[in-house]
């Protein structure tokens, strides 16, 4: 991807901060949540968020069939909650149509993994 701009005439880099936000840039942006017509919307420096790159997101199913994320992969709880909520609805619809369909969820994390991840998140905030 590093050389796509030179290789392809149709590839461009946008200067717009609200396009392709991801874990690499979210810490430097002013993200606000607003409820508009009953839906949660996100704004980057007062402009609507266009797309978010869920880089490295790990999802698993809990015992009740709810989609959960590994805590260390969540970089903005509000954005991730909306996304995972929509994934949950689609998962349930698909499961009603074909319960035999195999989804590739990550294994449920053990307690030690969760403790390590929570500790990592705390240190990450301290050193930013």
User: Please, are residues 42 and 78 in contact by the beta-carbon 8 Å criterion?
Assistant: yes
Q: Which two tokens stand for residue 57?
A: 């997101």
Q: Give the span between the Cα atoms of 49 and 16, in whole angstroms.
A: 10
**Predicted confidence (pLDDT) per residue in 15-34, tens digit:** 888 888 988 888 888 899 99
Domain residue ranges of the chain, discontinuous segments joined by +: 17-53, 56-128
**Predicted confidence (pLDDT) per residue in 67-94, tens digit:** 998 877 777 889 999 999 999 999 999 9
Q: Which two tokens stand for residue 102?
A: 């195999």
Helical H segments across the chain, by residue range: 4-7, 77-97, 111-126
């Amino acid at each position: 991807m590093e050389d796509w701009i030179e290789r392809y005439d149709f590839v461009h880099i946008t200067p717009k901060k609200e396009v392709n936000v991801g874990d690499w840039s979210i810490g430097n942006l002013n993200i606000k949540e607003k409820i508009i017509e009953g839906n949660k919307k996100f704004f980057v420096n007062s402009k609507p968020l266009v797309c978010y790159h869920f880089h490295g997101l790990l999802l698993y199913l809990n015992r009740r069939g709810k989609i959960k994320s590994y805590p260390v992969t969540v970089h903005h709880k509000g954005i991730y909650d909306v996304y995972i909520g929509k994934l949950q609805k689609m998962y349930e619809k698909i499961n009603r149509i074909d319960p035999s369909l195999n989804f590739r969820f990550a294994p449920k994390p053990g307690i030690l993994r969760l403790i390590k991840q929570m500790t990592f998140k705390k240190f990450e905030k301290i050193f930013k």
